[in-house]
Each structure stands twice: as structure tokens, then as C-alpha cells.
């Protein structure tokens, strides 16, 4: 009986501690990353030779509200997030470019719009824990959808043409992460580094997330995220050269329960 009572008391205290920690959270945020990169080669059966900044002049236009749902327990964490950004650009071409099989000649003014939407699911295994701090491993997947629409003069002068392209890039997420809590749980931070390499192609993503809760259940969030993909010519496919950079900061409101 005493053993059962002790076990019941321990379980009750553990559940109360978990409730006090408020392991679940939901947030609404705005994330505004810059975008850069280029694509040269054949993909999807169509030719490309374009630089997002140098040729199209793409820059940030606006961001849609994003969201995140998280569980952060004593040994395991799970986070699902989504965000979407819009880009726009107009530029006088200094060279011939090709977008999804359509060629735009040098001297042409092209206008472009772009969209990037990312859905991320990350699981965190906290291998090492200390009072107020932890270190572990992230495993997950991130799917980024890219859309590009370009219009301008192609072929003979005065003939307006359009080119559109859409693709989704699924990228595994793997790498170390660490976090801390201070001020009786009112201040919480986390940082991560995700790294992948295969046959000379590389992917890396790093960032941090800082949250402050003036109320036990409601707080504010600031974060930064930097993502880079490098596929040099001849690594994954002969004749394909691809880079993509997305780096920015974000802010949000967080409710935890």
C-alpha cells in the first residue's frame, strides 16, 4: 500500500509539474526572409538560366501570417510550422535569360513575382538535460514550395511572353539543437543547426528562437532563420547548377497551455 501511495504521489507530482510547465504552445507570426539564388540547366524537361536577384531583381514584397504548433516536454519536442512570403521585381536585362524554356533577350524589361511557402515538422530528442537547460538532436522534414512568374519581351521586339514555374523541395532536417529557460520559465530560448551533404551538394539551416512571457500563458516571440542550398554543376546531375538562399527575422505572439 505504501509503495502504491508513493507511486501515485510521484505520478501526481509529475503531472502537476508538466501542467505547470505548459508544454503546448500555439503562435501567430510574421517571417520576412530575403531570397536569392540562381538556376542553370534543365529541370522538369525545360531549360533555365536565371539569377533571382541579378536578372529579375526579386526582393521582399509582403509576408502572410504564419503559425506554429508545438509540444515541448522534458525529453521530447515536436513542432509544426507554416509561413509564406511574396516577392516582386522589375529589371532591365543585361543578358539573355531563360525561365522554364522561355528566353528573354538582353535589353528587355522583365517584371516578376515570386512566392515561397515552407511547411516544417521537427522532432527534438533532448539527450542531455540540466536544470534550466538541455541539448539534443533534431530530426524532421521541411517542404518549401517555390513559384515564379515572369513576363517581358521575348523573341522578336514587341512580342510579350510569359513564363511560370512551380516546384516543391522536400529537405530532411537533421542536426544538433540546444535550449534554456530562465526567470522561472518566463524566458525561453532555443538554437539549432541542420546540416546535410551529399556528393558535393550541401544544405544548411540555422537559427534561434527567443520567447518572453509577461503572463504565464501569453508571450512574445522573436526568431531568425537562415537556409542555404548549394548544388554545384556535376554534383547531383551533370549540367545542373542551383543555389537558393533565404535569410530573415520574424516576430510573433505565443499562447501556451
Average pLDDT over residues 16-25: 65
Give 168-171's long-range contacts (Cβ < 8 A, gap of 24+): 168/143, 168/144, 169/143, 169/144, 169/145, 169/229, 169/244, 170/141, 170/142, 170/143, 171/141, 171/142, 171/143, 171/144, 171/196, 171/203, 171/205, 171/229
Spell 106-143 as b/e; 16+ CB within 10 A means b.
eebebebbbbbbbbbebbbebeeeeeeebebebebebe
pLDDT score, position 1: 43
Spell 175-201 as b/e; 16+ CB within 10 A means b.
eebbbebeeeeeebbbebebeeeeeeb
pLDDT score of 137 more than 50 = yes
Q: Smallest Cα–Cα separation from 79: which of 40, 118, 113?
A: 118
pLDDT digits (tens, 9 = 90+) for 34-82: 999 999 999 888 999 999 999 999 999 999 999 999 999 999 999 999 9
Mean per-residue pLDDT of the chain: 91
What is the dotted CATH code of the domain comprising 24-256?
A: 2.40.128.90
pLDDT digits (tens, 9 = 90+) for 75-106: 999 999 999 999 999 999 999 999 999 999 99
pLDDT score of 20 more than 50 = no
| Percent of the chain whose predicted confidence (pLDDT) is above 70 | 90
pLDDT score, position 226: 98
pLDDT score, position 217: 96
Give 205-209's long-range contacts (Cβ < 8 A, gap of 24+): 205/142, 205/171, 205/173, 205/175
pLDDT score, position 241: 97
pLDDT score, position 15: 37
At 28, is the secondary structure helix, strand, or coil?
A: strand
pLDDT score, position 156: 59
pLDDT score, position 44: 84
pLDDT score, position 19: 39
pLDDT level of residue 14 (50, 70, 90 thresholds): very low
Q: How far apart are CA 22 and CA 254, in angstroms?
A: 12
Q: How far apart are CA 231 and CA 74, in angstroms?
A: 38
pLDDT score, position 127: 96
What sign does the CA torsion over 144, 219, 25, 207 have? positive
pLDDT score, position 3: 43
What is the pairing mode between strands 59-72 and 102-104? unpaired
What is each CA distance from 138 to 172, 223, 244, in whole angstroms?
10, 17, 22
pLDDT score of 2 more than 50 = no
Which cell numbers in the block locate residue 193? 543547426
Q: What is the DSSP letter of 55?
A: T
pLDDT level of residue 157 (50, 70, 90 thresholds): low
Q: Is 228 exposed, middle or buried (0-12, 13-18, 19+ CB in 10 A)?
A: middle
Question: DSSP readout, 7-20?
Answer: HHHHHHHHHHHHHH
pLDDT score of 117 more than 70 = yes
Where are the domains positioned within the chain?
24-256
Average pLDDT over residues 158-176: 92
Question: DSSP readout, 108-177?
Answer: -EEEEEEEEEEEEEEEEEEEEEETTEEEEEEEEEEEEEEEEEEEEE-SSTT-EEEEEEEEEEEEEEEEEE
Q: How far apart are CA 57 and CA 59, in angstroms?
A: 6
pLDDT score, position 153: 77
pLDDT score, position 47: 96
Amino acid at each position: 500500500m505504501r509503495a502504491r501511495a508513493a507511486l501515485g504521489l510521484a505520478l501526481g507530482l509529475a503531472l502537476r509539474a508538466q501542467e505547470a510547465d505548459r508544454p503546448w504552445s500555439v503562435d501567430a507570426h510574421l517571417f520576412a526572409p530575403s531570397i536569392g539564388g540562381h538556376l542553370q540547366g534543365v529541370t522538369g524537361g525545360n531549360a533555365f538560366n536565371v539569377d533571382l536577384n541579378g536578372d529579375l531583381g526579386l526582393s521582399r514584397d509582403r509576408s502572410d501570417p504564419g503559425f506554429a504548433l508545438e509540444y515541448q516536454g522534458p525529453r521530447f519536442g515536436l513542432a509544426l510550422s507554416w509561413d509564406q512570403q511574396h516577392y516582386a521585381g522589375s529589371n532591365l536585362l543585361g543578358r539573355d535569360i531563360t525561365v522554364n524554356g522561355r528566353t528573354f533577350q538582353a535589353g528587355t524589361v522583365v517584371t516578376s513575382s515570386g512566392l515561397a511557402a515552407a511547411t516544417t515538422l521537427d522532432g527534438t530528442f533532448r539527450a542531455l538535460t540540466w536544470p534550466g537547460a538541455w541539448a539534443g538532436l533534431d530530426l524532421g522534414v521541411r517542404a518549401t514550395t517555390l513559384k515564379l512568374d515572369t513576363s517581358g519581351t521575348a523573341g522578336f521586339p514587341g512580342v510579350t511572353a510569359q513564363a511560370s514555374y512551380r516546384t516543391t523541395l522536400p529537405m530532411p532536417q537533421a542536426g544538433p539543437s540546444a535550449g534554456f529557460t530562465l526567470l522561472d520559465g518566463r524566458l525561453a530560448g532555443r538554437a539549432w543547426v541542420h546540416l546535410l551533404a551529399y556528393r558535393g551538394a550541401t544544405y544548411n539551416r540555422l537559427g534561434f528562437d527567443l520567447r518572453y512571457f509577461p503572463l504565464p500563458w501569453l508571450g512574445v516571440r522573436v526568431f531568425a532563420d537562415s537556409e542555404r542550398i548549394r548544388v554545384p554543376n556535376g554534383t547531383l546531375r551533370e549540367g545542373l547548377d542551383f543555389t537558393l538562399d533565404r535569410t530573415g527575422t520574424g516576430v510573433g505572439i505565443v499562447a501556451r497551455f
